[in-house]
Amino acid sequence: MTIFVALALTILTFLAVILPFFRQKTRMGYAATDEQSQELLFKRDTTYAMLKELEFDYKAGVLTEEDYRDLEGRYKRKGVSILKDIDSLPKNPGIDADIETQVSRLRRKQPADMSDEIETKISSLRQNKARFCSQCGTGHRADAIFCANCGAKLN
């Protein structure tokens, strides 16, 4: 029995370690397969980390305010430049097709007369418009003249 449990745990551990290598990677809005885009993403992440580290050092008293502002400006300019380069990367053409496919699938699921049903409900709510007191906000019937809660005249 102990051998069976140990074997089962070993197999589960092995699967937990190996499974991420075989899962499909999530798609990004840009083609992150080539060296240039991976390098830009690495630079972006490094710049974000450096900005966080810089702020931590300033709050800890390691940097003077002048040095902090100078370095912060440099890293922010570098970050903006990297983000512009990432935006100029060629987009993944498959992502637009996937979005259109999902939208058309959702439109097919929606009944054609659903918009008519919604419009009917909206117009019925508009016709049965309740009146509210301008003083206390209490709702009243359409034929009421005075508020039953505070006595104010209804408009």
Mean pLDDT by 10 residues, the chain (155 residues): 89 86 58 72 92 93 93 94 86 73 78 65 64 75 79 79
Q: What is the pLDDT of residue 30?
A: 47
Q: Is residue 84 part of a domain?
A: yes
Q: Is residue 23 part of a domain?
A: no
Q: Is residue 68 part of a domain?
A: yes
* Structural domains of the chain, count: 1
Q: What is the pLDDT of residue 113?
A: 57
The answer to whether the CB of 27 falls within 8 A of the CB of 97 is no
Q: How far is CA 73 from CA 58, 61, 86, in A?
A: 14, 18, 20
Q: Is residue 55 part of a domain?
A: yes
Q: What is the pLDDT of residue 16?
A: 86
Q: Is residue 133 part of a domain?
A: no
Q: What is the pLDDT of residue 92?
A: 66
Q: Is residue 73 part of a domain?
A: yes
Q: Is residue 148 part of a domain?
A: no
Q: What is the pLDDT of residue 81?
A: 93
Domain extent at residue 84: 34-89
Q: What is the pLDDT of residue 68?
A: 94
State the burial class of residue 123 (Cβ atoms within 10 Å of its Cβ: 0-12, 13-18, 19+). exposed
Q: What is the pLDDT of residue 24?
A: 59
Q: Is residue 141 part of a domain?
A: no
